[in-house]
Structure 1
Amino acid sequence: MKRGTFQLMKSVNKSIILNKIRTGEPISRAQIAKETKLTPPTVSSIVKELIDEGIVMESELGESKGGRKPTMLLLNHNGFYVIGVDAGPSSVVCILADLSGKIYERVSSPLQEITRNEEFLKVLTMSVRSILKSVDDKSNVLGIGVAMHGVVDIETGTSVIAPNLKLQNIPIKETLEKEFQMVVKVENDARAMALGESWFGDHGLLESMLAINLGSGVGAGVVIEGKLYHGAQDIAGEIGHMTIDMNGEVCACGNRGCLQTFATGSAIAKLAKLDSGEEVFQLANEGKEKYAQVLREVGTVIGIGLTNLIHIINPQIIVLGGGVSKAEKFILPSIKETIEKRGLTDEAKRTRIVVTKLSDDATLLGAVALLLVELFE
């Protein structure tokens, strides 16, 4: 969808009505007017526009409350699509998803021997172009959401620092908008994961959520009332650099004892004196107690970090994702036990800690949600 068309679809009242339909479907025009305080003529006029645009559709009649049965409204979930991109340290993964998060196409492109911004952008552009080949009507694509590791300037859509690629100042938004003439949103990958959990993780209506990505690095996203919180200097969620042991190992950031020196795959491998975190998990699964104990100890350290975050942010739920979270049967009991011991209040001790049901797609669906937030809210 062209950038101008996207803006035409988006207005304050349209967004209010769209979000009401999204969260309440099936829903009648009268109910929308009642709950939004918009006048019935305004609701009817905007709903007509949304139906004409193909983003909303009418369903069978609802129950009568004395008069004629109302016509119910639903989102036309597969009428529009979004391209979601997870630009990780080793590959670029692109998906084509509809408004409900259903994935129709997927393309993965390796990032090998990337040394310049232009090389990265070439892989990114080729991946998006490959996904677009599967779409008959490009005007039905709302835009492109990109989840990028490292520090991201969300206003300009620039990857300021991509540490795992050793690249800086990559103009992702500028390049993709110029190439495809679509709306492009770029966000840090851990924050995107949090948004994906908020929209598609089946956690119910929440006022606050913390989602943590435990993988090659440790990052988090804070979602408050459906919106990502970025902080004053745009570094909210950099929990991997929370100090756990001031005399600990030197972190990549230069400080000692960061959570990241304990809770990543490579850190776990180092603790176990093996080549990879996957190998530690495999041996633990095979009943090797020595390696199961390593994972339990890592869970304790993560639990200390999460207790700190519970005391600061006090989220309703903490969702764990990333490769390390797949060792949940070893780390999750230790995490919960640690929070139970260290939580300040009974309520804090009972904070819900879960592992994502979206698996590796949480970040990709978060990239999709970057566009949906713009449209619906």
Structure 2
Amino acid sequence: MIGHNAYVIGVDIGRTTTLVALVNGNGEILNQMEFPTLPEKGWEDTISRIMQAITSLEECIPEHGIWSGIGIASAGVINCERKNIVYASNLGWHNAEVGSVLMERFNVPVRLGNDANLAAVAEYVWGTKKDVQDLIYITVSTGIGAGIINGGQLVQGKSNSAGEFGHITMDVMGQQCKCGNYGCLENYCSGTAIAYIADRRLGKLKGQSWTTKDVFEAAQNGNGIALDIVKVAGIYLGNSIVSLIHLFNPTKVILGGGIINNDNMLFQEANKTINNRCLPTMRNQVTIQKTMFGKEIGVLGATGIFFMDEVSS
């Protein structure tokens, strides 16, 4: 357990940008640095620049503050014990030993976790302040993932792989997913899927592929096919959330990620489906809402993991 005079540096490694931030025991970001990830240069290059940022932020820790560790959030398959990224498809990295490199360089505890799981930690530690012991965070972006807090504890599973929500099967006869399975949820309501379906149903937009932003704008402007694409995506998303509610009986389901944060229509369609399909007693016990956090949710989760015991005590 660490006290409120503790300071943790959080790192959120995204496909496009990496955010590094100094966070105190109240969940306040005191200073932060952001820079391009450039994953194609290799994980060693990215970690080198992360270490430069950490060195700068270390100097911002108050004289009587205690630097309690470094937390890292990343997409992909994570080995929490060895503190390495086993595989991250969005980064193209295999066996990135980021934890051991940072521990050797800074000699402080390092904790590494999947970004969706740690987003759930951020909601629990900093968002609800322990008031909600059972919650699920769902991210809808390029892909789809979930983080589950059950009884004030993060559900990670045997190999820290729990929460691969985007790869539950929605259609056993569906198209093959990049994971190798067929009919995965990501094929129907992720940002990638919505844009792909628009290309297939609407043709190219001025010679270019559709983006999710294009689809949502077209739907809002009354394009019937675009509206149907968003509605169907919302139905798939809502149905899958119903399954999570029935399995875990949470008090709160929180949605975030670029697709949800930038559009209200998909959220509304998913919520309609949840209202129609969920067992009434369980629906009445759960609140469905958007996250109150922005892009900082990754670093808040990466730092929040150090305060889990403190909050749960």
Match of 1:321 among 256, 262, 287: 256
1:72 is aligned to none
Q: Does structure 1 residue 340 correspond to structure 2 residue 271?
A: no
Q: Does structure 1 residue 359 correspond to structure 2 residue 294?
A: yes
Pairs within 5 Å for 1:242-257:
242-257=168-183
2:203 is aligned to none
Change (3 A) 1:326 1:291: farther
Question: Do the aligned residues in 1 keep the contact of 2:169 with 2:182 (CA within 8 Å)?
Answer: yes
2:206 is aligned to none
Larger radius of gyration: 1
CA distance in 1: counterparts of 2:257 and 2:76, whole angstroms: 15
For 1:114, the aligned partner's letter is E
Gaps of 5+ in 1: 1-9, 16-54, 56-76
2:266 is aligned to 331
Gaps of 5+ in 2: 200-208
Question: Do the aligned residues in 2 keep the contact of 1:263 with 1:324 (CA within 8 Å)?
Answer: no
CA distance in 1: counterparts of 2:212 and 2:184, whole angstroms: 18
For 1:90, the aligned partner's letter is T
CA distance in 2: counterparts of 1:138 and 1:276, whole angstroms: 49
For residue 90 of structure 1, report the CA deviation from its aligned partner: 1.9
CA distance in 2: counterparts of 1:311 and 1:203, whole angstroms: 25
1:67 is aligned to none
For 1:307, the aligned partner's letter is V
For residue 265 of structure 1, report the CA deviation from its aligned partner: 1.4
Q: Does structure 1 residue 154 correspond to structure 2 residue 89?
A: no
For residue 138 of structure 1, report the CA deviation from its aligned partner: 8.9
2:147 is aligned to 221
CA distance in 2: counterparts of 1:278 and 1:133, whole angstroms: 40
Match of 1:95 among 21, 24, 27: 21
For residue 288 of structure 1, report the CA deviation from its aligned partner: 4.3
Q: TM-score, normalised by structure 1?
A: 0.74
SS at match of 1:106: strand
CA distance in 1: counterparts of 2:155 and 2:39, whole angstroms: 34
SS at match of 1:249: coil
Question: Do the aligned residues in 2 keep the contact of 1:85 with 1:364 (CA within 8 Å)?
Answer: yes
For residue 280 of structure 1, report the CA deviation from its aligned partner: 2.2
CA distance in 2: counterparts of 1:292 and 1:209, whole angstroms: 30
Q: Does structure 1 residue 235 correspond to structure 2 residue 170?
A: no
Percentage of identical aligned residues = 28
Q: Does structure 1 residue 141 correspond to structure 2 residue 76?
A: no
Question: Do the aligned residues in 2 keep the contact of 1:115 with 1:166 (CA within 8 Å)?
Answer: no
Runs of 4 or more above 3 Å deviation: 133-139, 282-290, 374-377
Q: Does structure 1 residue 130 correspond to structure 2 residue 130?
A: no
2:202 is aligned to none
1:309-368 deviations in Å (ceiling 9; x for gaps): 11222211111110111245212222122122222x212233321110112222221111
CA distance in 1: counterparts of 2:160 and 2:103, whole angstroms: 23
CA distance in 2: counterparts of 1:108 and 1:281, whole angstroms: 28
SS at match of 2:264: helix
1:284-331 deviations in Å (ceiling 9; x for gaps): 445545434322221111011111111222211111110111245212
CA distance in 2: counterparts of 1:113 and 1:204, whole angstroms: 36
Q: Does structure 1 residue 116 correspond to structure 2 residue 49?
A: no
1:270 is aligned to 196
For residue 172 of structure 1, report the CA deviation from its aligned partner: 1.6
1:309 is aligned to 244
CA distance in 2: counterparts of 1:269 and 1:120, whole angstroms: 29
Question: Do the aligned residues in 2 keep the contact of 1:250 with 1:257 (CA within 8 Å)?
Answer: yes
Q: When the two structures are aligned, how many residues end up with a matched partner?
A: 302
